[in-house]
Chains A and B, each alone.
Chain A
Amino acid sequence: MPIKKRGTGLTAVADAWQLADIDVTASYPIRPYTAVMAEVAKRIANGQMKCEMVHGEGEHAQFSIAHGASMAGARATTGSSGVGVTYAFEVYSPIAGGRCPIQALVGDRTLDPPGDFGSEHTDCLTLRDNGWIYGWAENAQESLDNSLMYFRIGEDPDIMLPQIVAMDGYFVTHIAQEYEMPDQEQVDKFLPPFRPQFRLDVNNPVIMGPQIEPEMGPPLEWDRNVVMDRVKAKIAAVTEEFGKVFGRKYAPFVEEYMTEDADMVFLLQGAHAITCRSAIKYLREAGYKVGMCRLRWFRPFPDMALKQILPKFKVVGVIDTNTSYGASGGGGVLLVETRAAVSELANKPMIQGFTSGLGGETITHEEFFKMAEMMRETLRAGRIIQDSTWVNFNDYVEGASEVKAAQQEVAQTKE
């Protein structure tokens, strides 16, 4: 029987790793990732999990250990946050290019400076060109479910790609919430054991990651490109099967909320969707025809889904909880990707960017209201007024100064 639990995104992923019966996990502490390591260590000590835990001397080592374990045929996991994620940067491409389907948990954290523990998606988004597959969970349940789905997708013999179970630091990693831990039998039915076709084995020697001639590289890269396209169909199929086995149905790529008659939508990913839905309720009561599109995947980017969904709307407000300094449009990564996805459509909507929730700040109801108002001004103007708006910094909404003053007052009570 599935168990109702109260826990965080970190305990939920530890549950998923326990159910997936992982062979090796490589750890190194950094907030907010740390507790998954503590959870797994505790479970090994309790006899709940049988797995080899190797503590690296840093994140580069940590990911390398998981890489090596995967080459030897182990179901291996690891994870990190913020500057820990970027410290391991060298090894992401070799892991993906070597087709080692390890799973990493990333609890987002800002990159320095300054030293801040809050969630920003920038850490994980810097890996976007390395061939890993990943998306953001909005709560503990989705973290657990994503973890199981990612193992299944990534370890598929047709795919063989590493995955990142990404989640907002603190919001999802630390705030206790209700979730359901599936039954072992269900998981065994859904997720077969990891049996790679090739692995390091003294009796059947193979070479992994050798030096090669220049002309031997492009075919491998073409193959990595092809698989990234092929994985989309696999995601759709596995998400549907997951729904059948576990009874929780997710949109494969983009979750739509109150979009049926919407003329404008927020487009975002991760934890802030929770507050967004609540804000939409009030906005609807006040006469705003607004909805939400939440990306469940970032790599591969759900461009085909967005091509179908976005032309329904007049204005799309892309909320970036990340920075990409100097990027096209002056906003973040999601703005660039979203615009590119629909750029060649004749009936594309107006797409404006918002940067909000940086430093791990909650995107408050007030900020969602303000963004909705700016989208309405765009709608009325019939053109993009400002490519991207850093909320509370260069708002163009009428009355923005009053809201800013009110917020400074709140900020003072926050210290």
Chain B
Amino acid sequence: MTLAVAIDAKMQEVTVWTRGVTLAKEARDTATLLAKAGKQEGKYVQSFDNYVDLPDRIGVPVKSYARLSPEPIETYYEYENYHPDVVVLAEETLVKGNDILKGAKPGCVVVINTARKPETLIKWISPKAELPKVKALACIDANVLGAGVMLTFDGTEGAGDDTKIGAGVGAAIAGAVAKVTGFVKLESLVDIAENKTAVRQGWENVSIMPLG
């Protein structure tokens, strides 16, 4: 038996792919900033790291998630974002060898932190069968904005993060995501991020390639 009910139908899911330890904090900050900004705008939100990815292994692909919904989130204790609306790559090489579009919703947006043009990266995105679901591919060269990368274990494994939130490239990526998706307002992000310039620069410098 299965009830024909749509659970969390209006929930927006953001999946941020990154590298274990070396870039984990920045990706977590991207997810945290988007969730916090959503909360500030009156949405129900969650943000958390993937538990199964083993985030203490250096350089392995790991994921951080944000969820925003106009209604209370019912799948509160789900492990992962199974149907992302937005897929973010905090580092460009993740585009190769990872099925980043798995389970993506139709109209999904991909945002990549890279110096390359969207046209040169699209050929790597997989699984290929999911590509028609992608509405736009956006690229932001967050690394050149001078915000830097923070290395810390604080905030991992369920501990509180007492370091600054959104001081590095993660803030610029969050700005780019906000512009491409419209999920949260620029002002909300600026309001909560440590590095407000990075958020604005991410918003301003993202290049968007519409697809489909």
- Complex partner residue of A362 from B46, B49, B77, B153, CB under 8 angstroms: B77
- Complex partner residue of A365 from B5, B46, B154, B159, CB under 8 angstroms: B5
Report if B80 contacts A (CB, 8 A). Answer: yes
Report if B212 contacts A (CB, 8 A). Answer: no
B-side contacts of A17, CB under 8 Å: none
Report if B120 contacts A (CB, 8 A). Answer: no
- Given A399-B1, A406-B2: A117 touches B51 (CB 8 Å cut-off): yes
Report if A34 contacts B (CB, 8 A). Answer: yes
Would B159 and A402 count as touching, CB distance under 8 A?
A: no
Smallest CB–CB gap between B153 and chain A, Å?
A: 8
Complex CA–CA separation, A365 to B76 (angstroms): 11
Would A282 and B157 count as touching, CB distance under 8 A?
A: no
Report if A67 contacts B (CB, 8 A). Answer: no
Report if A50 contacts B (CB, 8 A). Answer: no
B-side contacts of A176, CB under 8 Å: 46-48
Report if B106 contacts A (CB, 8 A). Answer: no
Complex CA–CA separation, A283 to B3 (angstroms): 8
Would A370 and B159 count as touching, CB distance under 8 A?
A: no
Number of interface residues of A (CB under 8 A): 47
B-side contacts of A106, CB under 8 Å: none
Would A413 and B102 count as touching, CB distance under 8 A?
A: yes
Report if A278 contacts B (CB, 8 A). Answer: yes
Looking at B47, B158, B162, which has the most chain A CB atoms within 10 Å of its CB?
B158
Would A175 and B82 count as touching, CB distance under 8 A?
A: no
Smallest CB–CB gap between A273 and chain B, Å?
A: 10
Q: Of all chain B residues, which has the CB nearest A7?
A: B160
Would B49 and A365 count as touching, CB distance under 8 A?
A: no
A contacts with B: majority SS:
helix
Complex CA–CA separation, A188 to B48 (angstroms): 33
Complex CA–CA separation, A162 to B49 (angstroms): 33
Complex CA–CA separation, A173 to B160 (angstroms): 11
- Given A11-B159, A410-B82: A171 touches B3 (CB 8 Å cut-off): no
Would A272 and B77 count as touching, CB distance under 8 A?
A: yes
Q: Of all chain A residues, which has the CB nearest B73?
A: A278
Q: Of all chain B residues, which has the CB nearest A40?
A: B159
Report if A158 contacts B (CB, 8 A). Answer: no
Would A171 and B157 count as touching, CB distance under 8 A?
A: no
A-side contacts of B124, CB under 8 Å: none
Looking at B47, B75, B79, which has the most chain A CB atoms within 10 Å of its CB?
B79
Docked complex: A283-326 residues within 8 A CB-CB of B = 283, 286
B-side contacts of A366, CB under 8 Å: 2
Report if A35 contacts B (CB, 8 A). Answer: yes
Would A397 and B1 count as touching, CB distance under 8 A?
A: yes
Smallest CB–CB gap between B3 and chain A, Å?
A: 5
Q: Enumerate the 4 nearest inter-chain pairs by beta-carbon distance, A residue then B residue, closest first.
A: A35-B159, A373-B1, A174-B158, A413-B103
Known: A42-B162, A170-B51, A365-B75. 8 other contacts (CB 8 A): A7-B160, A11-B158, A283-B3, A370-B1, A406-B2, A413-B82, A413-B102, A415-B102
Some 24 contacts from A to B, beta carbons below 8 A apart, are: A7-B160, A10-B157, A34-B157, A35-B157, A35-B158, A42-B159, A170-B51, A171-B77, A174-B48, A174-B49, A175-B77, A272-B77, A274-B76, A275-B77, A278-B7, A282-B7, A362-B77, A362-B78, A364-B75, A365-B74, A365-B75, A369-B1, A369-B2, A413-B82
Residues of A within 8 A of B (CB): 7-11, 31-32, 34-35, 38-39, 42, 117-118, 170-171, 173-176, 271-272, 274-275, 278, 282-283, 286, 360, 362, 364-366, 369-370, 372-373, 397-399, 402-403, 406, 410, 413-415
